[in-house]
């Protein structure tokens, strides 16, 4: 087995890297980190700032947006390893480029021709975005027990209910909503997926602030989010054309989506960026004559983290390769979703401990190191073990689907 890249792949990586060095300027990163609010006031759905827009247009001209998606849906039709290279390089600067994002794999697999051709090209280009409406106040771990109802009324579904932790609901253009369409069926068999615009009448979005909000996490924080939401649906009328896949079969389409969502370089690279911080700090910092890089215990710890990260890189590449070859993809995404948040906690904890007590201070404190970046990253790493499916539930999936163990 050859773990190396081909000469063409290496040359392509260099091209992407050079493009990033030339074009991803501090101004773009600052605009993305701070979040863009248009001067017309309010937070426009799907709004993107002028620097990020210009950059995205340049990336599009290169054909790197949705690089592995079929040409007829706006992609470039390349293989997944080419996508991996683009994702990996852009993840280093905190950008998500290369995949189709969240809802796209499910639409591609289960959508009608009209849904595919109207949503996929816009998703690839970032012209539309989907909030994910899964979790309800009764609990996200047992997702199949969701109660948000969609009742048929002529050519429409009428939606009533509440979702919680709908992270992007305040600025996404659309929502991908899991709702119950048959309350009498066994719980996994009465769920459907509806895709519709967030400005449909009857939707109310209320902010739900996280641990990263007070004080606000500084720019550059790579884990967690400052805001998520509660979203309420009151007699929301959605045309039947919004149904994704078959009625009552949404659980199965969504399971496939979540599995694919968890694949890719981005999740592993968030951690690698933090590990690179550690290496850079350990090389450059001495305190009262103490040098991190001379401390054997610290050297061992850094080497452990780095090795751990390389294992995950191989796991993510293996997953991409399975998807590329149309293989059966069962537990791999869940395994990555266990590894990445746990590695994130280990590596952010390590850097906070290396830098000493001041690194524990949060943004706003006069003595905070780098505006509290490392302490905020540590708090966010804990968040990442909950969102997108908690670590405990992921472990359960690895046990059952990967190891063939019985349901607990």
Ligand X SMILES: Cc1cc2nc3c(=O)[nH]c(=O)nc-3n(C[C@H](O)[C@H](O)[C@H](O)COP(=O)(O)OP(=O)(O)OC[C@H]3O[C@@H](n4cnc5c(N)ncnc54)[C@H](O)[C@@H]3O)c2cc1C
Task: Determine the Cα–Cα distance for residues 396 and 145; give it in Å rounded to an integer.
Answer: 18
Question: CB-wise, 91 or 225, nearer to ligand X?
Answer: 225
SS3 state at 141: coil
Query: Both tokens of residue 269?
Result: 């690279």
Question: CB-wise, 322 or 393, nearer to ligand X?
Answer: 393
Q: To the nearest whole angstrom, how small is the minimum distance from the Cβ of residue 390 to ligand X?
A: 3
Task: Determine the Cα–Cα distance for residues 2 and 382; give it in Å rounded to an integer.
Answer: 36
Q: Which residue is nearest to ligand X (CB)?
A: 140
Task: Determine the Cα–Cα distance for residues 9 and 6; give it in Å rounded to an integer.
Answer: 5
Question: CB-wise, 74 or 224, nearer to ligand X?
Answer: 224
Question: CB-wise, 248 or 390, nearer to ligand X?
Answer: 390
Q: To the nearest whole angstrom, how small is the minimum distance from the Cβ of residue 405 to ligand X?
A: 13
Task: Determine the Cα–Cα distance for residues 66 and 89; give it in Å rounded to an integer.
Answer: 15
Task: Determine the Cα–Cα distance for residues 16 and 126; give it in Å rounded to an integer.
Answer: 19
Question: CB-wise, 143 or 242, nearer to ligand X?
Answer: 143
Task: Determine the Cα–Cα distance for residues 257 and 62; give it in Å rounded to an integer.
Answer: 27
Query: Both tokens of residue 117?
Result: 């051709």
Which of 210, 209, 217 is closest to 363 using CA atoms?
217
Interacting residue ranges for ligand X, rule: CB under 6 A: 132-135, 139-141, 165-167, 210, 225, 228, 383, 386-390, 392-393, 396
Question: CB-wise, 16 or 381, nearer to ligand X?
Answer: 381
Q: Beta-carbon neighbour count of residue 374 at 10 Å?
A: 27
* Adjacent-strand bridge partners of 236: 159
Q: Beta-carbon neighbour count of residue 297 at 10 Å?
A: 7
Question: CB-wise, 192 or 210, nearer to ligand X?
Answer: 210
Question: CB-wise, 248 or 383, nearer to ligand X?
Answer: 383
Question: CB-wise, 319 or 397, nearer to ligand X?
Answer: 397
Each as own residue / partner, the long-range contacts of residues 384-389 (CB below 8 Å, 24 or more positions apart, any chain) are: 384/223, 384/224, 384/270, 384/340, 384/341, 384/344, 385/341, 385/342, 385/344, 385/345, 387/165, 387/167, 387/225, 388/258, 388/261, 388/262, 388/337, 389/140, 389/258, 389/262, 389/334, 389/337
DSSP symbols for 146-213: ---EEEEETTEEEEEEEEE--TTTTT-SEEEEEEES-TTS-GGGSEEEEEEETTSTTEEEEEEE-TTT
Question: CB-wise, 134 or 233, nearer to ligand X?
Answer: 134
Q: To the nearest whole angstrom, how small is the minimum distance from the Cβ of residue 393 to ligand X?
A: 5
Place of tokens 């080497």: 303
Q: To the nearest whole angstrom, how small is the minimum distance from the Cβ of residue 90 to ligand X?
A: 22
Question: CB-wise, 13 or 395, nearer to ligand X?
Answer: 395
Chain Cα centroid distance, residue 360: 26
* Adjacent-strand bridge partners of 193: 178, 244
Q: To the nearest whole angstrom, how small is the minimum distance from the Cβ of residue 15 to ligand X?
A: 34
DSSP 8-state assignment for residue 286: E
Q: To the nearest whole angstrom, how small is the minimum distance from the Cβ of residue 27 to ligand X?
A: 28
DSSP 8-state assignment for residue 398: I
Q: To the nearest whole angstrom, how small is the minimum distance from the Cβ of residue 114 to ligand X?
A: 26
3 state SS for 39-53: CCCCCCCCCCCHHHH
């Amino acid at each position: 087995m050859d773990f190396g890249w081909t000469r063409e792949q290496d040359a392509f990586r260099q091209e992407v890297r050079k493009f990033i060095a030339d074009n991803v300027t501090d101004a773009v990163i600052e605009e993305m980190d701070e979040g863009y609010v248009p001067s017309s006031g309010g937070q426009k759905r799907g709004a993107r700032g002028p620097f990020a827009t210009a950059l995205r247009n340049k990336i599009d001209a290169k054909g790197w947006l949705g690089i592995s998606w079929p040409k007829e849906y706006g992609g470039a039709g390349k293989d997944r390893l080419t996508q991996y290279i683009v994702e990996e390089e852009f993840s280093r600067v905190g950008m998500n480029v290369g995949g189709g994002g969240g809802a796209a794999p499910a639409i591609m697999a289960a959508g009608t021709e009209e849904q595919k051709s109207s949503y996929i090209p816009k998703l690839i280009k970032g012209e539309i975005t989907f909030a994910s409406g899964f979790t309800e106040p009764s609990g996200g771990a047992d997702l199949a027990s969701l109660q948000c109802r969609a009742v048929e009324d002529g050519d429409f579904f009428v939606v009533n209910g509440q979702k919680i932790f709908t992270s992007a609901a305040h600025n996404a253009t659309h929502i991908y909503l899991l709702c119950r369409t048959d309350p009498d069926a066994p719980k996994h068999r009465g769920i459907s997926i509806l895709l519709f615009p967030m400005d449909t009448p009857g939707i109310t979005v209320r902010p739900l602030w996280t641990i990263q909000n007070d004080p606000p996490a500084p720019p550059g924080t790579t884990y967690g989010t400052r805001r998520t939401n509660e979203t309420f649906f009151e007699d929301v009328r959605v045309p039947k054309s919004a149904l994704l896949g078959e009625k009552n079969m949404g659980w199965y389409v969504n399971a496939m989506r979540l599995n694919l969502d968890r694949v890719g370089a981005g999740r592993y690279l968030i951690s690698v960026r933090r590990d690179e911080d550690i290496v850079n700090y350990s090389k450059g910092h001495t305190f009262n004559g103490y040098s991190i890089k001379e401390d054997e215990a610290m050297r061992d710890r850094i080497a452990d983290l780095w090795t751990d990260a390389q294992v995950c890189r191989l796991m993510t590449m293996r997953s991409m390769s399975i998807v590329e070859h149309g293989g059966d993809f069962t537990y791999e995404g869940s395994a990555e979703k266990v590894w990445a948040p746990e590695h994130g906690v280990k590596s952010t904890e390590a850097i906070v401990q290396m830098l000493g007590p001041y690194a524990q201070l949060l943004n706003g404190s006069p003595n905070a190191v780098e505006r509290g970046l490392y302490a905020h990253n540590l708090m966010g790493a804990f968040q990442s073990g909950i969102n997108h499916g908690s670590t405990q539930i992921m472990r359960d999936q690895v046990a059952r689907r990967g190891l063939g163990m019985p349901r607990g």
